[in-house]
């Protein structure tokens, strides 16, 4: 399922707890993403580093109450509980909403060549399997793929999308140009 413009469906499902307040910083971070729309940008968009992608593209989720870099593990009864960073058996997605069991992973791979697209799909499949094992069959997984500044054709993006839909049908795909 490709989210793109339909990304709000995830946010509509997700209702932050009453205690979550949206700080101005986080809302401003979300608002800056509007500049990534190629129709409104006059100069070429630069390719981000993976760290920049992660920071910029998890911001809207964090603004909606997702926990950034939140480490969890399974306890003896199989419940997801907080964990220390790097603790054996723990998992730390880019963003996580425990209330809806939604995992967000941001990817910034070179997908200009078939080998790069294949590597991305393989990595997403493996991470999705890990998420299902850790968070259960009811986990919602969103893969945010940052293509901003990449020299990739529409045809290549269609090939990538088709391959992801075949190999990882249970994930949501959020492509960023």
Q: What are residue 73's phi and psi, to 5 degrees?
A: -145, 170
Across 11-20, 49-58, 92-101, 122-131, least confident range: 11-20
176: phi then psi, degrees, rounded to nearest 5: -115, 125
Count of other CB atoms within 10 angstroms of residue 105 = 21
> pLDDT, tens digit, for every residue of 89-133?
999 999 999 999 999 999 999 999 999 999 999 999 999 999 999
Domain ranges, residue 54:
4-176
* Token pair of 29 as six digits: 């971070």
Instruction: Please tell me the number of Cα atoms within 13 Å of 19 on its side-chain side.
Output: 2
Kindly report whether the global pTM for this prediction surpasses the value 0.85: no
- Beta pairing, strands 140-146 & 172-176: parallel
Query: By three-state DSSP, how is residue 58 classified?
Result: helix
Q: How confident is the model at residue 80 (pLDDT cuts 50, 70, 90)?
A: very high
Number of domains, the chain: 1
């Amino acid at each position: 399922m490709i989210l793109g413009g339909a990304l709000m469906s995830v946010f509509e499902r997700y209702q932050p707890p009453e205690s979550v307040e949206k700080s101005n910083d986080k809302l401003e971070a979300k608002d800056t993403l509007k500049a990534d729309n190629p129709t409104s940008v006059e100069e070429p968009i630069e390719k981000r580093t993976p760290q920049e992608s992660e920071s910029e593209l998890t911001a809207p989720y964090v603004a909606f109450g997702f926990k950034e870099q939140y480490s969890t593990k399974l306890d003896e009864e199989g419940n997801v509980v907080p964990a220390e960073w790097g603790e054996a058996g723990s998992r730390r997605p880019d963003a996580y909403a425990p209330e809806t069991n939604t995992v967000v992973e941001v990817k910034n791979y070179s997908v200009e060549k078939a080998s790069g697209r294949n590597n991305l799909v393989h990595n997403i499949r493996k991470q999705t399997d890990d998420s299902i094992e850790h968070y259960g069959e009811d986990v919602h997984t969103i893969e945010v793929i940052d293509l901003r500044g990449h020299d990739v054709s529409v045809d290549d993006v269609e090939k990538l999308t088709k391959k992801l839909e075949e190999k990882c049908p249970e994930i949501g795909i959020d492509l960023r140009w």
